Structures are given as structure tokens and as C-alpha cells.
Amino acid sequence: MHKKIILFIAMFLSAFSFAQENYKYIIIPSQFSFLTETNKYGLNELTKTFFQSEGFEVYYENEKFPDELLKNRCLALYANAIENNTMFLTKIHFEIKDCTNNVLLKSELATSKEKQYKVAYTQTFRKALSSLKGKINFKKVDELEKIEVVKTPKEEEVVSKNEIITNTQATNTLFPIPIVNGFKLVNDKPETIFILKKTSADNIFIAQKDSKSGVLIKKSNSWFFEYYEGDKLLSEKVEVKF
């Protein structure tokens, strides 16, 4: 039965598009690297207030986080201001990153000719943050991320159930991050290990790990990644906390 599901998926799956991800938390610095004090000129508080107005729970990087965020830092976005000043201009833009340090969004580059630092930084921070208004609730993806099709062997080449090669040695525990129509599974570094897409069955996901395409399936209260290598059906145990 499981082999038939894998083959059925392989016949009809040619690509996935990974689009938008919603986040609950944003983490910001308590002191920006280009300034000499915590909350210099009130800029960190200004930044925190802006993201709160966008509907996020905002924490400084040195604050105590809620339990779910302590357990999984990938539930948060990470915002930081980047300075690129010249002799006559204060230039600031913001970057929004995910937990794997991927830049998801950049603000407009804000500039000021004001000579007083407090005025110049306040102006540029407000301009840069304002350009992010209404844009932070999603991850913009410019390219279609494609998953290669698992080649379907001819009916007479399908291996029998007792020919499945199983590796029961589970890797380190992985944690699910919701994405559209599925999850990505990350480790504690965190690195993305699997991309999962939902199927009509709660215990089966279409799965992609590096160049390997197959399914993640729950059997006997454990999860297994099953895929073909040539004409061999391989099965790897996966430790995941759904």
C-alpha cells in the first residue's frame, strides 16, 4: 500500500512552489552595532514600537522569550538596521531575516543630510521602517523551487515489501515550521533538512531532502522517509516533533 502511494505521488508530482510564511514574533537588537549605547537616541524603542504596530510580539535579543520561542527560534523573524554612511549622508536600511539567516525582506534605503546625529538617525529609521509597513507578514519568493520527480519503475520492477532497505537509526530531532500546504523540518542549528507538503492522509507527507524525493510516512508511531535509489526502495527513520 505504501509503495503504491509513493508511485502515485511520483507520477503526478513535478514541482512545488513555496510561497508565504506567517510569523508571530520579531526579535530585534537592544543595541545596534553601529551605536555606542543600548537604545541610543531611543532608536531601539522606536523600532520595537513599529513592529508592534504591525501586529508582532517583539522582543529584544537579550530579553526572556516565551517558552515556545525558547524551544524553537525559527518561530521568529529577526530585524536589524544596517548603516552605510558617507561623509555627508546618514544612510540606513533594515533587513528582515529568518532563523537560517536568509534575508526575506529589505527596507528602502533612507538617507538624511542632517548634521545632528540624533535627528539624522531618527529621520532615517522612521523612513526605513515606514517603507516596511504592511509588507512583513509574508516571505516573498521570486523563483519556483522545484522538486525532481521520482522515476516510476515498471510494474515488474517494483520491489516487494521485504526488499525495502530500512535505516532505523534516527538523526537528531527535527522541528516543524509551518509553510503553505505543509512544513519545513529544521534541526537545532537551525538548518532546513526536509520540505514537506500535505496529502489527503494525515500520516503521509510528500517529502524533499536535498536531491531525494519521496514521502514521509508514519508507521507504528514513528516517522520514516521513504524514497527510491534506482530500483531500491529505501526507508530512513526520522525523529520529528509534530
Higher pLDDT, 19 or 9: 9
User: Which residues have CB under 8 Å from 113's CB, separation 6+?
Assistant: 88, 89, 90, 120
**CB of 168 closer than 8 Å to CB of 145:** no
What is the average per-residue pLDDT within 204-213?
89
Report pTM.
0.52
Q: How far is residue 10's CA from residue 7's CA, in Å, rounded to a whole number?
A: 5
The tens digit of pLDDT for each residue in 130-148 reads 999 988 864 423 333 333 3
Provide the pLDDT confidence category of residue 163 given band limits of 50, 70 and 90.
low
Provide the pLDDT confidence category of residue 65 given band limits of 50, 70 and 90.
very high
Cell for 73? Answer: 527560534
**167 pLDDT more than 50:** yes
The domains found in the chain, sorted by start residue, are 2-18+143-238 (no CATH), 25-130 (3.30.160)
* Helices first, then strands: H and E counts in the chain: 4, 14
**5 pLDDT more than 60:** no
**CB of 38 closer than 8 Å to CB of 30:** yes
